Amino acid sequence: MASLKSMLKGFDAAFEERQNWVSSWDECYTLAIPGRLGFYNISPGQKTTDEIFDSTGVTATAEFASRMQAGMTPAFAMWFDFDSGSVVPEEQRQQVNEELQRVSAFVWETLNQSNLNQELHESYIDLAVGTAVLAAEEGDAVDPIRFTAIPQQQVVLADGPFGKPDTVYRFRELRLDQIEVIWPKANITERMKQEGKSDDKKTFPIVECVRRNWQNKKTEHHYFTVAVKEPMHKLLEGDFIGEGSNPMIAFRWSKASGETYGRGPLFNALPDIKTLNAVVELGLENLAMAITGMWQADDDGIINPDTIELIAGTIIPRSPQGRGLEPLTPPGNFDAAQFVLKEMRHNVKKALFNETLGSPEGTPMSATEVHERMADLAREIGSSFGRLHTEMVTPILKRCVHILQKQGKIELPKINGREVKIINTSPLAQAQHNEDVARVARWLQLLNGGFGPQMTNTIVEATEAAIYAGQKIGVPEKLIRDAGEARALQQQAIQETSQVSPEQAQAGDIR
């Protein structure tokens, strides 16, 4: 277990590295995610929309979070499955998979009844910037698992030896009563108790740290430490041992080589959002001049500009030789700005994957077109989808399984000392599976059209092809016969057909 001084020293180093990102992150939150905690002393509920003149980035980010949740982890559809994989002998695979389907159904029911859907939406908004952290902690009998989307302002990450963030720090200010509720076994000093009781609004700077122990390579092992930064004092420490024991789940949209934090689509669309705001701001200024007008007058000693009010019924004096007030035509023409705005808004929406299905004008799209466009979305975010499956989906499920096993509510079967693997069945993953099935269907059509059904039956293993298609589109394992059993029934049907004489067949046709 590392010393408290060493842990806080690591936090300070990681915090200093994070400062290089703060200005860019703050621009993303200011222009596209207003109302959230900022990086420069912005309090909850404080007005943060004064710099926003165009809402395209705000609405596109919210739509991105909703689209990602619907595509990756839909609220009312099962978006994962447990499978035995290749480590299970083929003769045992069907039985094991049926057991795993019951386990996966219980896990999904637990997740669906928890607060995962609400907290994941908040994490997806942070993911638009690039990095999100979700805490999955053990609850009670009513709520077995509690999820918390940790604000990015509180998160500090540190890379490990293999390029992954294996150390997660969380820094926040907490009152004494909050510390006592969150960590009932915390070692609170008498000084803290006195300060907290004398001032019920007194807060203490708390640093939480979950760090991977790579010395133990046979099993997953994490150190857990909670400390007060000033004055330095350790409140709690412990160990998380076993697969899925880490409660801190950090995931990123994409990552440049050598960097710790991710770069999200909002991060990449920030130049267009800033351009939109600048153009709209100038357009509003031009509109104000067009409505109220600009005026000029001769300084004849009679007109006083400080006392003139341009309201109905006003009489403005002028000298007999003077021309009074005259309108001044503004030199600029902002009609051309509309073309810039249209292009910039399109770029922002495209960057945040908001125009997958296009605008609703015109002829409604067919189901085939919708399917193809969703498949195109899956291809566009293919690399990020793979990263999210590895860094978000799999750790969430492993954490859930770890907690439910610890509570004695589920038990996973083991084959040769190994447990199951997790399969992603989300809509985006299913779009890729449908593409695999469509590829096989096109091949079969090619064989039938070019060589005839007889050649197709000679080349294609019909039983395996049917099972493959069923598994790809997510048919439950219990509805699919074993391949050997299916072949036996097929042979039996062929034999029964061959035993029927031509006369019997003709008589059957007549009847």
- Residues of the chain short of pLDDT 70, as ranges, are 1-2, 37-49, 85-87, 288-303, 305-306, 309-339, 355-378, 414-420, 477, 483, 498-511
The pLDDT value recorded for residue 510 is 44
DSSP assignment letter at 54: -
The pLDDT value recorded for residue 399 is 94
pLDDT, one tens digit per residue, over 105-160 is 899 999 999 999 999 999 999 999 999 999 999 988 778 899 999 999 899 999 88
The pLDDT value recorded for residue 10 is 93
Q: How many residues does the chain have?
A: 511
pTM: 0.78
**Region of 85 on the Ramachandran plot (φ > 0 left; ψ -120 to 50 alpha; else beta):** left
The pLDDT value recorded for residue 95 is 79
The pLDDT value recorded for residue 89 is 73
The pLDDT value recorded for residue 360 is 46
The pLDDT value recorded for residue 296 is 66
CA angle 87, 92, 94 (to 5 degrees): 100
Q: Enter the tokens of residue 355.
A: 């125009």
Task: Report CA dihedral (355, 361, 365, 370) to the nearest 10 degrees.
Answer: 10
Task: Please identify which residue in the block is written with the tokens 């009563």.
Answer: 177
**Which residues contact residue 316 at a Cβ distance below 8 angstroms, ignoring those fewer than 6 apart?**
303, 308, 324, 325
